[in-house]
A and B are shown apart, each in its own frame.
Chain A
Amino acid sequence: MNKLSNEVWVFIEQRNGKAADVSFELLSKGHKLALNMGGVLKAVIIGDKVKEIAKETFKYGVSEALVVEHPGLLAYKTMPYSRIMNKLVNEAKPRIVLFGATIIGRDLAPRVASNTKSGLTADCTELKIESIKYLGKEFKDLLMQIRPAFGGNIIATIITPDNPTQIATVREGVMEKHLSTATKEIKITEIPYIPDPTDELVKIIEQHREESKINLKAASIIVSGGYGLGTRENFKLIYDLAHTIGGEVAGSRAAVDAGFIPPERQVGQTGVTVRPKLYIAIGISGAIQHRAGMQEANKIIAINNDPDAPIFGVSHYGIVGDAAEVIPNFIEAYKQKLK
């Protein structure tokens, strides 16, 4: 076997020339991984006029930015982007490639993994480097890809022991963004784009994008409801409480599946990861998949009629009772205290 690369790559996702937050979060994590395996961090940026974004990546510990620029690459399109990434990964065989688990990342990463025959693990909630023994063989500096699995009922550590490249996707908000203290010299390598007829097989006719008004990540108080609320009618209580105490409304995956709230408000491994000052979980049993997205909240209050619900295990305060009674009590008590 050839010597393995020591490079960690992060695909920098840009929309209309603006880099996605998740990319910087991944750079922060990628930098740590690179340090832990004695390697280097590289950023890959595809788009039109993206050198400013490339420069910004150096604040996060990047040693080299690979840039592919062309007016035809302004908006993300599966065919040219995957063709470019496939070629880059096949040639350099980086040890690790990270993508945001956004719609773009989930469109692109599988094509790259398929083409380069690499292992791909989706929606990781933790990534670390470890040297391990697997089936009697020693593996040095392998990427531990940790994710809730099986509908979020268990936690699995996935490895890619025998392939040169390990690819993982991570949801926005899961990793924390922080600037690197070491200042790196800016080294941007431009890679020419050679158009191909297959790039035009899917054409974008129109694009509509709105800045989301929902920003769970920035909310300091979140009131979150689960399937335990039972009905859409009862779920309105969540909105009432959030309105009273100045919080944002969120919910569990089951609440989204039941149609109680839109998917943009889902907290958990397959939703948003939040770290508010206060998280109130109501009628949420507390599956691993949900806890992965909220357990780092500063204070957690759980309200559930089942005293054995796992959610109490990660809570600071627990109220056993029926939401339909507890929430009105909460609202009234709050109004009395803060009138």
Chain B
Amino acid sequence: MFNSIVLVKQVPDTANISGKVMKDDGTVNRSKLPAIFNHEDKVALELALRIKETYGGKVTAITMGPPRASDILRECLFMGADAVYLISDRKFAGADTLATSYVLSEAIKKIGNYDLIFAGRQAIDGDTAQVGPQTAEKLHIPQVTYVEEIISCQKDTVTIRKKIDGGYEIVEAAYPVLLTVLKDAADTRPFKAKRIMAYKNAKSLTDLEGMTEGNSLLYTDKLVHEYEEKNLFIPTFTMDELKLDPERCGVKGSPTKVFKIESVVLAGGNHIKIDATKTGIGNLIDQLMADHIFG
């Protein structure tokens, strides 16, 4: 039996940025972008679920993000996660990878009882691949990054194929260990209809507060209780609940700062226009031959 914690992230769909989401100052208006489940994190969840199905155990998915990140936690439930936690607090806003890994590592300590921690190699909005290793360091546990395949789990070790520069390695890691996985490590399963029916109404505290807007706090408490009874309540960890040091969270806890952002606008430029015809291209080839690039 192996218990896994999976780190997942909701990311803006950076592959589909259009002019509409750019602000006048050239920065990106994140709230206008569609938010999606970071694909490599989904692959990480898939691997955790397969281990549970083969060896038994429990799969817990956690995400740090704004309230709407509960969307991907519901998706984790649809795929088969046993428990999910939203880690959310206004004071986490503006966190860089160091501050994020601090919060995640403390949340993992609170959940406890894990053999494996899974994460995607990197998230598509920053492509840094830093949060996994930074979290492992804070937990004082080893890591295996760029996982291509989990070969087998033994009692004390897990055997893994990982990518290295120019090849691959087979490694054996002792538990607990943190793994960051590549997108080709597994095909993710579709959501199960039965689980969608069961969990589509799972709600976090903020979700429920939204439902009771204008009503009394008492009513929210009652709703929370009701959803807990039905096993549809997504618990939220805040800064206070995790007893975190405010100096290490959010902007304050982030050593890196964005000093400047430029969006480089490129117009047509001064290039020479070449006709798409054989003659036009032929002339271009003559030019390149004269420049000793061809021939």
Q: A-side interface residues toward B, CB under 8 Å?
A: 15, 20, 78-79, 82, 102-104, 106-111, 113-115, 117-123, 132, 134, 144-145, 149-163, 198, 201-212, 220-221, 245, 254, 257, 270, 277-278, 286, 288, 298-299, 301-302, 307-308, 310, 312-321, 325-326, 329-330, 332-334, 336-338
The digit string for B1-29, where 1 denotes a CB below 8 A from any CB of A, is 00000000000101101000000001110
Are A150 and B129 touching (Cβ within 8 A)? no
Closest chain A CB from B279 CB (angstroms): 8
Closest chain A CB from B289 CB (angstroms): 7
Are A208 and B293 touching (Cβ within 8 A)? no
Q: How far apart sit A301 and B274, CA to CA, in the bound complex (Å)?
A: 10
Are B144 and A202 touching (Cβ within 8 A)? yes
Would you call B197 an interface residue if the criterion is a C-beta within 8 Å of the partner chain's C-beta atoms?
no
Task: Point out the residues of chain A lying under 8 angstroms from B127, CB to CB.
Answer: 122-123, 151, 270
Are A103 and B146 touching (Cβ within 8 A)? yes
Choice from A144, A198, A301, A319 contacting B142 with Cβ under 8 Å: A198
Choice from A144, A209, A317 contacting B274 with Cβ under 8 Å: A317
The digit string for B155-199, where 1 denotes a CB below 8 A from any CB of A, is 000010001111111111110010000000000000000000000
Main secondary structure of the interface of A (DSSP, over half): mixed
Are A106 and B129 touching (Cβ within 8 A)? yes
Would you give 22 A-B contacts (Cβ < 8 Å), ordered by A?
A110-B137, A111-B134, A120-B128, A150-B17, A153-B263, A155-B261, A155-B263, A156-B258, A160-B255, A202-B142, A202-B171, A203-B172, A207-B168, A212-B166, A254-B15, A316-B272, A317-B271, A317-B273, A318-B274, A319-B273, A319-B284, A329-B281
Are B174 and A201 touching (Cβ within 8 A)? yes
Are A204 and B143 touching (Cβ within 8 A)? no
Choice from A120, A151, A161 contacting B15 with Cβ under 8 Å: A151
Main secondary structure of the interface of B (DSSP, over half): mixed
User: Given that A270-B127, A317-B284 are known contacts, is A153 also in contact with B14, CB under 8 Å in the complex?
Assistant: yes
Choice from A20, A114, A153, A338 contacting B138 with Cβ under 8 Å: A114
Are B133 and A111 touching (Cβ within 8 A)? yes
Identify which of B42-50, B51-59, B96-104, B215-223 touches chain A.
Answer: B96-104
Choice from A209, A321, A330, A333 contacting B164 with Cβ under 8 Å: A209
Closest chain A CB from B269 CB (angstroms): 4
Are A326 and B276 touching (Cβ within 8 A)? yes
Are A210 and B15 touching (Cβ within 8 A)? no
Closest to A115 in B: B137
Closest to A103 in B: B165
Are A117 and B164 touching (Cβ within 8 A)? no
Are A207 and B271 touching (Cβ within 8 A)? no
Total A-B pairs in contact (CB under 8 Å)?
Answer: 256
Q: How far apart sit A20 and B164, CA to CA, in the bound complex (Å)?
A: 13
Task: Point out the residues of chain A lying under 8 angstroms from B232, CB to CB.
Answer: none
Task: Point out the residues of chain A lying under 8 angstroms from B159, CB to CB.
Answer: 205
Task: Point out the residues of chain A lying under 8 angstroms from B134, CB to CB.
Answer: 110-111, 113-114
Closest to A157 in B: B260
Would you call B257 an interface residue if the criterion is a C-beta within 8 Å of the partner chain's C-beta atoms?
yes
Choice from B126, B171, B256, B293 contacting A278 with Cβ under 8 Å: B293
Q: How far apart sit A109 and B169, CA to CA, in the bound complex (Å)?
A: 20
Closest chain B CB from A336 CB (angstroms): 7
User: Given that A78-B143, A114-B101 are known contacts, is A333 also in contact with B281, CB under 8 Å in the complex?
Assistant: yes
Task: Point out the residues of chain A lying under 8 angstroms from B146, CB to CB.
Answer: 103, 107
Task: Point out the residues of chain A lying under 8 angstroms from B214, CB to CB.
Answer: none
Task: Point out the residues of chain A lying under 8 angstroms from B137, CB to CB.
Answer: 82, 110-111, 114-115
Choice from A119, A329, A332 contacting B256 with Cβ under 8 Å: A119
Task: Point out the residues of chain A lying under 8 angstroms from B293, CB to CB.
Answer: 220-221, 277-278, 298-299
Are B28 and A150 touching (Cβ within 8 A)? yes
User: Given that A102-B165, A122-B128, A308-B268 are known contacts, is A257 also in contact with B15, CB under 8 Å in the complex?
Assistant: yes
Are B167 and A210 touching (Cβ within 8 A)? yes
Q: How far apart sit A207 and B169, CA to CA, in the bound complex (Å)?
A: 4
Choice from B136, B261, B269 contacting A156 with Cβ under 8 Å: B261
Choice from A103, A149, A162, A286 contacting B266 with Cβ under 8 Å: A286
Closest chain B CB from A98 CB (angstroms): 15
Are B255 and A117 touching (Cβ within 8 A)? yes
Closest to B167 in A: A209
User: Given that A318-B272, A326-B276, A333-B278 are known contacts, is A154 also in contact with B133, CB under 8 Å in the complex?
Assistant: no
Q: How far apart sit A121 and B97, CA to CA, in the bound complex (Å)?
A: 9
Would you call B288 an interface residue if the criterion is a C-beta within 8 Å of the partner chain's C-beta atoms?
yes
Are A278 and B288 touching (Cβ within 8 A)? yes
Choice from B138, B164, B259, B282 contacting A158 with Cβ under 8 Å: B259
Task: Point out the residues of chain B lying under 8 angstroms from A118, CB to CB.
Answer: 98, 255
Q: How far apart sit A7 and B286, CA to CA, in the bound complex (Å)?
A: 52
